[in-house]
Amino acid sequence: MNMYKVINTINLSEFSTKETVEKVEKKLKKLRKELSKLQDAMYAEGKYAVLICIQGMDTSGKDSLIREVFKDVNAQGIEVTSFKVPSELEKKHDYLWRHYIALPERGKIGIFNRTHYENVLVTRVHPEYIVEEKIPAATSVDVLDDAFFNHRMEEINNFEKHIADNGIIILKFFLNLSKEEQKNRLLRRLRLKEKNWKFSPGDLKERKLWDEYQFCYQELLNKTSKEHAPWFVIPADDKHTTRLKVAEIIVETLDTYNFKEPELPEKYKVEISNYKKQLESE
């Protein structure tokens, strides 16, 4: 797990984007069952929730990862939120508001598909989006300097510390895709008719800003990976291995919490044999 965890200052270009594992489907199947049991126990205990944050460049496999890793978890125990362009209502609140109200309740796993980090990522590459928020500190693009985004990252750190202190286990995954593999996946969307709907000309425009995005990712990984809310850089060129590695980290982390189902109150325990008799005699 630690080989993917951002602990010290990193250079993102030094991380591999591809890793392959043998018998990956068999291993993932086993982990899915373990994850399901962990969520059941966490729900019964009622102390903790889990927030899984997934970030990555377009085509990095976020949607399919969510589908394949969490498919065995009780549907009532999982909540997935995909954050798109803020609505008019959301723009009338601070930028963390829509993320705060989407947090999972105790006992559940919440997944943010794209996250609150879009506020120091897409908006840093496209600062004009922040001007549209009409906040006092953003009167023009010119004032949105490094200090502004560093301050936002500190606000995000405070937000995550607050929710961690209140029982939310936070795990953040950056799906580290190579530019070459993104090209292959975009071409696949164009070649396969059933995948055409996923393609947008905007994907090509954003692709031209690859280096800017990589810089912003490196900045946020270095400045917002904390022990209570760690980032993991996961190789994303092979989707099957990506899913396995994410599942391994989640299960390994949740195992350390030793979730315990509550015991039946003593007054009911002593009556168990009587309850059985009542039912058997019907």
146, 282, 130: which is closest to 220 by C-alpha?
146
User: What's the confidence (pLDDT) of residue 38?
Assistant: 97
What is the C-alpha separation between 183 and 194, in angstroms, rounded?
A: 18
User: What's the confidence (pLDDT) of residue 74?
Assistant: 96
Which parts of 62-209 fold into alpha helices (H)?
Answer: 62-69, 88-91, 97-100, 122-125, 128-131, 146-165, 179-191, 201-207
64 with 239: CB under 8 angstroms? yes
Mean pLDDT in residue range 6-30: 95
- Please list, in sequence order, all residues whose beta carbon lies within 8 angstroms of the beta carbon of residue 220, skipping any fewer than 6 positions away: 117, 120, 121, 153
102 with 110: CB under 8 angstroms? yes
35 with 69: CB under 8 angstroms? yes
Element spanning 170, H or E: strand 168-176
User: What's the confidence (pLDDT) of residue 262?
Assistant: 84
pTM: 0.94
Question: How many CB atoms lie under 10 A from the CB of residue 63?
Answer: 13
Tell me the β-bridge partners of 110.
51, 79
Mean pLDDT in residue range 169-197: 96
Question: How many CB atoms lie under 10 A from the CB of residue 117?
Answer: 24
CA 218 remoteness from chain centre: 17
Mean pLDDT in residue range 93-106: 97
| Length reported for the chain | 282
Give CA separation, 279 vs 266, 267, 271, 282, in Å: 20, 18, 13, 6
How far separated are the first and last CA of the chain, in Å rounded?
53
Give CA separation, 264 vs 197, 267, 269, in Å: 52, 8, 6
- Counting Cα atoms < 13 Å in the Cβ hemisphere of 202 gives 5
The tens digit of pLDDT for each residue in 133-174 reads 889 988 899 999 999 999 999 999 999 999 999 999 999 999
The tens digit of pLDDT for each residue in 257-270 reads 999 988 888 888 88
The tens digit of pLDDT for each residue in 196-224 reads 998 889 899 999 999 999 999 999 999 99
What is the C-alpha separation between 6 and 233, in angstroms, rounded?
A: 7
Residue 68 is encoded by which pair of tokens?
């394949």
